[in-house]
Copies of this chain bind each other. A is one copy, B any other.
Amino acid sequence: MPLFRKIITVSTRHEGEVINLTLQVAAVIRESKIQEGLVHLFVKHSTAALTTIEYEPGVLADLSRALSILAPDDAVYAHDKKWGDGNGRSHVKAALVGPSLTVPVVGGELSCGTWQQVVLLELDVNAGREREVICTVTGE
């Protein structure tokens, strides 16, 4: 079973930004020539995360608010007190959503639902970052 790997690099601009990776992941699958298998995505950072969601501004705002219930902007973070990074909430949100996502490849296509997009969540308060997502396609 072959394995094809490519890194998707995205530039983010601000905390709470949600980047739609669906087209880039679909392009990696096409390049791999794999027809039936799985694509695994991993974001190599502790203040970003991966999931799927309907890519519609209302839903994205609702998600952002839900994450702020878990890790409010105005809470006191032990991480921030110690290191002064100011991104304690970013680490917490990223650990809960998670860095890893696997999606089936069916007939050479990414097999998401109609309203289901693959997204990267930029959770860091410190803006203007380059984020690496490692794509690994396996199958036949």
Contact = CB atoms under 8 A, between A and B. Distances in A.
A71 B79 contact: no
Contact of A98 (B36, B51, B134): B51
Interface of A: 1, 3, 5, 36-38, 40, 42, 44-46, 51-54, 56-59, 61-63, 65-67, 69-71, 75, 77-83, 88-89, 91-92, 94-104, 106, 111-113, 115-116, 134, 136, 138-140
Contact of A116 (B46, B81, B82): B46
A2 B59 CA distance: 39
A116 B62 contact: no
B82 A99 contact: no
A59 B86 CA distance: 11
Count identical subunits in the complex.
3
State the 7 A-B residue pairs at the shortest beta-carbon distance, nearest first: A58-B78, A58-B79, A44-B113, A53-B95, A46-B116, A61-B78, A1-B1
A59 B88 contact: yes
Nearest to A131: B113
